[in-house]
Structure formats: structure tokens, C-alpha cells
A = this chain, B = another copy of it.
Amino acid sequence: MIIKTPTKFFLVNGSSEGFSLLNAFDGALLASGVGDTNLVKMSSILPPSCEEIKPPPVPMPQGALVPTAYASLCSDVPGEVISAAVAIGISNDANRAGLIMEYSAKAEEKVVVDQVKKMVEKGMEMRNRGIKEIMAISATYKVVTIGAVFAAVVLWD
């Protein structure tokens, strides 16, 4: 393997106003406690036996390269409600991977959370894999001028 497989994970969320769309995203990362790391986006599997760290190591080592599955949304429409959520389906077989799904929309938080959980259920069905537990985390924000939401599963070792 080229990159070490993660053995730990944690969930974070945040939202922020910002000077630009990217500054708002950056602010949402800061609010999540991962704002001084380098997120590397990946498609979305929880390795078997990956353990939750609680509380998460926030702040993280500065500048670390961190594989992360995340949902985010930025908006510059004042008054708009934006929400982002991630969910993990933990396999009931400890030797099988879990599935992470991400969803974001210009919608209320509950809508987005319900959708991302259904996405996990359907994805685990597709694998014929039983679900022990679904974990989820979400963020919602009503934009003042420019805003962003962020929800993530951060993989760690």
C-alpha cells in the first residue's frame, strides 16, 4: 500500500461567515477544529475496526495532511439556509468496512441528515452488509452575507 490505512476517526462540524466563499469555507474548518490542517478529500470508506477518538484531537497538528470525507456548501445569498451532513454506517461484521456518505443542500438540517442516513442505508444494502449503527454529524447556517457549512469524518492514526 502507498498510504497507510487509517485506524482512528472522529466527527466534526462547523459553520462560518467569511469575506469570500473560500474564506467562509476556511472559517467553517476553523470552527470544526481542523482549520489549520490540509484536508485531502477521499471517497468514503471507514476501514474495518477503525475506532472513534473522543474527544477529537482538536486542534490537530498544524499543516498535517489529513484524509477526510466531507460535505460542505457555501452560499453568498443573504438569508439562505444551507446544511451539510455526513453519516457512517458501521458494519455489524467487524471485519467489513463501514460506508461514509456526504450530502449538502440549501435546506433545513433535518432534511439533509435524513437524506444522508438513507444514503448510508441504501449503500450498505447494495453491499449486502448489516448495519450495527449509523453515526451522523451535521451543520446548518443562515447566511448573513457569505457563509459556509462543513461536516466531516476525519481519518487518523
Residues of A within 8 A of B (CB): 1-6, 18-20, 22-23, 25-27, 29-30, 35-48, 50, 61-67, 69, 96-97, 99, 101-103, 115, 118-119, 122-123, 126-127, 155-157
Contacts and interface: CB of A to CB of B under 8 A. Distances in A.
A155 B38 CA distance: 11
A42 B47 contact: no
Contact of A45 (B37, B47, B96): B37
Contacts of A20: 103, 115, 119, 122
Contacts of A96: 36, 62
A90 to B, nearest CB: 13
A2 B45 contact: no
A3 B101 CA distance: 23
Interface centre among A2, A102, A126 (most CB of B within 10 A): A2
Which of A25, A30, A37, A118 counts the most B-chain CB atoms under 10 A from its CB?
A: A37
Contacts of A126: 18, 23, 26-27, 30
B155 A22 contact: no
Contact of A26 (B26, B29, B63, B123): B123
Contact of A36 (B63, B97, B122): B97
A123 B64 CA distance: 18
Contacts of A102: 22
